[in-house]
Amino acid sequence: MIGRCEVAIVGSGFAGSLMARVLAVLGYDVVLLERGKHPRFAIGESTTPLANLSLERLARRYGLDDCYQLAAHGRWLEHFPELRRGLKRGFTFYRHHPGEAFANHGLDSERLLVAASPHAAVSDSHWMRADVDDHFVGRAIDAGVDYRDLVELTKAEIGLGGVRLTGAREGAAFELRANFLIDASGPGGFLARQLAIASGLERTATRSALVFSHFDGVRLTAEVVPGLPEGPYPDDWAAVHHIIDEGWMYSLRFDDGVTSAGFALTPSGLADLKMAQPVDAPALWRALLARYPSLERAFGDAKRVMPIGFVPRIQHRLTQAVGDRWALLPHAYAFVDPLFSTGIAWGLRAVERLALAFESAAGGRRLPDRGQLARYETLLAVEADQIDRLVAASYDAMAHFDLFAAHAMIYFAIVSYAEAHQRLVASDSLAWSGFLGVGDTQAEPLLRESCARLCDITKGTRLTGSAEDRRRYANWVREAIAPRNVAGLADPLRHNLYPVDLDVLVDRHALFGMSRDQLVAALPALRGVTPAPTVQVL
Ligand SMILES: Cc1cc2nc3c(=O)[nH]c(=O)nc-3n(C[C@H](O)[C@H](O)[C@H](O)COP(=O)(O)OP(=O)(O)OC[C@H]3O[C@@H](n4cnc5c(N)ncnc54)[C@H](O)[C@@H]3O)c2cc1C
């Protein structure tokens, strides 16, 4: 069987499916190839305001109503109650110590809560990827995408004349010719293997292993640590991060009671656990719970709803992201770590960028021009480095909770400023703005500087430094983020509990180059209330 199309996309995670669908809306003839079959489990579930702003822009520009509805928890519940999701009001962090229950020291607890939304209706969601990815594939098919699952691709040949893919589906060989290939295969790394793209992993400082699963019956924080002071939202309706000596654990609660959880472990943290090789994932899981009594209490009686998995290293990075007739989506190009949930937002931003690149070619050559592809690749490379700086420095800062909480303020300052800016400007060209402060002269250098300062304190060996070292670092963070601090962050009077505070935002109107009145007029948009897309722009 020989087929032809304009654009072939390998991999139907949400990114591949949305990419395919947008290109179909733009009039491209698209084939989407998947080696598995939906619905299927996928990891990477927690969204952020920047991810949802990308979804809203895609919705508005390409007439994808469901993307708008899925971009806020309240709208999701109203329109797609059958798609499983979890309410995510913000980012919750706790520091645990081996052999000790998490200590409730009131407002001085090793606890940090940063709200991402003012209330549940406009909040972010955790995506049950089995449902969400299946939904997006279905919508891609409805938009005219030719979707083929259970495909085993064996070869990709890319030349001046185009792309030739060969493979088999259910025992029948096929060949597909395309003008352009987008690799959305994530860590499957389809094109990396086919084109022998060199690894760039040495650019990534972060190293972590992962042990993970989905569980039923995980206890709420209020049951495990009763009497914690009230935070800006209920602690568990968030991306919950448990920092431990060996790394950290994520815990994402879905509305139906299932919790997605996993430990990301540093090489030394994993070595300290002295597990027999090859690692027995359930034994590793039990060993970690046994070391941390509050985690044991939360997860000890929970039932896993799928096998516990283990991945010895989750990082990957390539040296090239585009060619004349191909492009990688971010998860095929690089991945650092789930800390701070950057993956979905980054993936959606890249879908927007490639969509704009194809859009500008739709009436002519029908291939994105080299300049746009080069711009896309340059941004991905700098952004992957920036994500790595954020995460590597966070692992360093885990030596002491005060260092971690201070460093985290840089992330929250950068993304909350970017979010407010995007809500104020609301232009589709924002897709080309850099992720995580890239290209913002005030924000971009902060993470590099923070890495250096933290390394001075921890010496890369988890030294905690003196109380004075930590105070000096926290003071530096407070001053350094000031030009982007529109959320009242790094304020000792808040005791690490940060609500969405629109009064602070209004007070800091000058940081957006706006008058107080102009900012007040924009408050509905800043509250996360964006109008439904009524008119398809194209
Ligand atoms: C432990 C962990 C936790 C994470 N948590 C978060 C989080 O909370 N928030 C967040 O924003 N991000 C998170 N991420 C990142 C997130 O998983 C990714 O950003 C996201 O999955 C990218 O989606 P995608 O559609 O690009 O690729 P993927 O979800 O990786 O999908 C790739 C698809 O390609 C298919 N495929 C692979 N190889 C082939 C092939 N040869 N032929 C055909 N099809 C193929 C696969 O079957 C799959 O369907 C996490 C990542 C990890 C590892």
Cα distance between residue 328 and residue 323, in whole Å: 9
**92: β partners:** 113, 240
Three-class SS state of 261: strand
The pLDDT, as a whole number, for residue 306 is: 98
- Return the minimum-mean-pLDDT range out of 173-182, 376-385, 406-415, 526-535: 526-535
The arithmetic mean of pLDDT across residues 134-143, rounded, is 98
The pLDDT mean for the chain works out to: 96
The pLDDT, as a whole number, for residue 533 is: 64
Contacts of 160 (CB under 8 A, 6+ apart): 324
The arithmetic mean of pLDDT across residues 150-171, rounded, is 95
Q: Whose CA is nearest to atom 39 of ligand 1?
A: 185
Q: Which residue among 127, 133, 185 has the greatest number of ligand 1 atoms within 8 angstroms of its CB, and so is best to mutate?
A: 185
Cα distance between residue 66 and residue 82, in whole Å: 13
Q: Does the CA dihedral 210-132-236-478 come out positive or negative?
A: positive
Query: Does the C-beta of 168 come closer than 6 Å to ligand 1?
Result: no
Which ligand 1 atom minimizes the distance to the CA of 345? 11
- Return the minimum-mean-pLDDT range out of 374-378, 429-433, 476-480, 532-536: 532-536
- Please give the distance of CA 371 from its chain centroid, rounded to a whole number: 27
Query: Does the C-beta of 153 come closer than 6 Å to ligand 1?
Result: yes
Query: Does the C-beta of 11 come closer than 6 Å to ligand 1?
Result: yes
| Cα 292–Cα 293–Cα 295 angle in degrees, nearest 5 | 70
pTM of the predicted model over 0.95: yes
> Where does 315-402 show beta strands of DSSP type E?
316-317, 322-323, 326-328, 334-335
Element (H, E) at 145: none
The amino acid present at 319, given as its one-letter code, is T
Q: Which residue among 21, 22, 34 has the greatest number of ligand 1 atoms within 8 angstroms of its CB, and so is best to mutate?
A: 34
Q: DSSP label at 103? A: P
- Return the minimum-mean-pLDDT range out of 1-10, 286-295, 394-403, 526-535: 526-535
The arithmetic mean of pLDDT across residues 231-258, rounded, is 98
pLDDT in tens, 311-350: 999 999 999 999 999 999 999 999 999 999 999 999 999 9
Query: Does the C-beta of 253 come closer than 6 Å to ligand 1?
Result: no
Which ligand 1 atom minimizes the distance to the CA of 189? 38
Residue 148, classified by CB atoms within 10 Å of its CB into exposed (0-12), middle (13-18) or buried (19+), is middle
The pLDDT, as a whole number, for residue 273 is: 96
Q: Whose CA is nearest to atom 17 of ligand 1?
A: 44
Query: Does the C-beta of 185 come closer than 6 Å to ligand 1?
Result: yes
Confidence band for 495, pLDDT divided at 50, 70 and 90:
very high
Query: Does the C-beta of 329 come closer than 6 Å to ligand 1?
Result: yes
Cα distance between residue 538 and residue 530, in whole Å: 19
Cα distance between residue 17 and residue 139, in whole Å: 8
Which is nearest to 404 in space by CA: 421, 392, 420, 418?
392
Query: Does the C-beta of 343 come closer than 6 Å to ligand 1?
Result: yes
- Return the minimum-mean-pLDDT range out of 41-50, 142-151, 524-533: 524-533
Query: Does the C-beta of 316 come closer than 6 Å to ligand 1?
Result: no
Q: What spacing in Å lies between the alpha carbon of 357 and ligand 1's midpoint? A: 23
- 535 pLDDT exceeds 60? no
Query: Does the C-beta of 189 come closer than 6 Å to ligand 1?
Result: no
pLDDT in tens, 442-487: 999 999 999 999 999 999 888 999 999 999 999 999 999 999 999 9
C-alpha torsion angle, residues 446, 353, 391, 285 (rounded to 10) = 160
Query: Does the C-beta of 184 come closer than 6 Å to ligand 1?
Result: yes
- 526 pLDDT exceeds 90? no
Cβ–Cβ < 8 Å for 399, 463: yes
Confidence band for 362, pLDDT divided at 50, 70 and 90:
confident
C-alpha torsion angle, residues 325, 192, 188, 137 (rounded to 10) = 0
**Given the structure tokens 């990419």, which residue do they identify?**
19
The arithmetic mean of pLDDT across residues 501-517, rounded, is 96
Q: Which residue among 9, 10, 37, 43 has the greatest number of ligand 1 atoms within 8 angstroms of its CB, and so is best to mutate?
A: 43
Which is nearest to 403 in space by CA: 467, 449, 459?
467
Query: Does the C-beta of 384 come closer than 6 Å to ligand 1?
Result: no
Cα distance between residue 127 and residue 238, in whole Å: 12
Q: Whose CA is nearest to atom 5 of ligand 1?
A: 44
The pLDDT, as a whole number, for residue 304 is: 97
Confidence band for 529, pLDDT divided at 50, 70 and 90:
low
Per DSSP, the residues of 434-490 read: PGGGTT-TTTHHHHHHHHHHHHHHHTTTT----HHHHHHHHHHHHHHHGGG--S--S
Confidence band for 537, pLDDT divided at 50, 70 and 90:
very low
Cβ–Cβ < 8 Å for 86, 109: no
What tokens were used for 496? 């690490």
The amino acid present at 102, given as its one-letter code, is F
Q: Which residue among 45, 152, 207 has the greatest number of ligand 1 atoms within 8 angstroms of its CB, and so is best to mutate?
A: 45
The amino acid present at 56, given as its one-letter code, is E
Q: What spacing in Å lies between the alpha carbon of 461 and ligand 1's midpoint? A: 31
Query: Does the C-beta of 341 come closer than 6 Å to ligand 1?
Result: yes
- 248 pLDDT exceeds 50? yes
Confidence band for 536, pLDDT divided at 50, 70 and 90:
very low
Q: What spacing in Å lies between the alpha carbon of 348 and ligand 1's midpoint? A: 12
Element (H, E) at 114: strand 111-115
Q: What spacing in Å lies between the alpha carbon of 438 and ligand 1's midpoint? A: 23
Q: DSSP label at 302? A: P
Cα distance between residue 71 and residue 102, in whole Å: 34
Query: Does the C-beta of 34 come closer than 6 Å to ligand 1?
Result: yes
Query: Does the C-beta of 273 come closer than 6 Å to ligand 1?
Result: no
Q: Sort strands 172-183 and 2-10 into parallel, antiparallel or unpaired.
A: parallel
Which ligand 1 atom minimizes the distance to the CA of 43? 17
Q: Sort strands 90-95 and 247-253 into parallel, antiparallel or unpaired.
A: unpaired
Q: Whose CA is nearest to atom 27 of ligand 1?
A: 186
Cβ–Cβ < 8 Å for 176, 148: no
Percent of the chain exceeding pLDDT 90 equals 93
Q: What spacing in Å lies between the alpha carbon of 14 and ligand 1's midpoint? A: 8
The amino acid present at 361, given as its one-letter code, is A
The arithmetic mean of pLDDT across residues 194-209, rounded, is 98
Cα distance between residue 427 and residue 314, in whole Å: 34
The pLDDT, as a whole number, for residue 538 is: 45
Which ligand 1 atom minimizes the distance to the CA of 13? 25
Through-space distance between the first and last CA atoms of the chain, rounded to whole angstroms: 35
> Where does 222-267 show beta strands of DSSP type E?
239-244, 247-253, 258-265
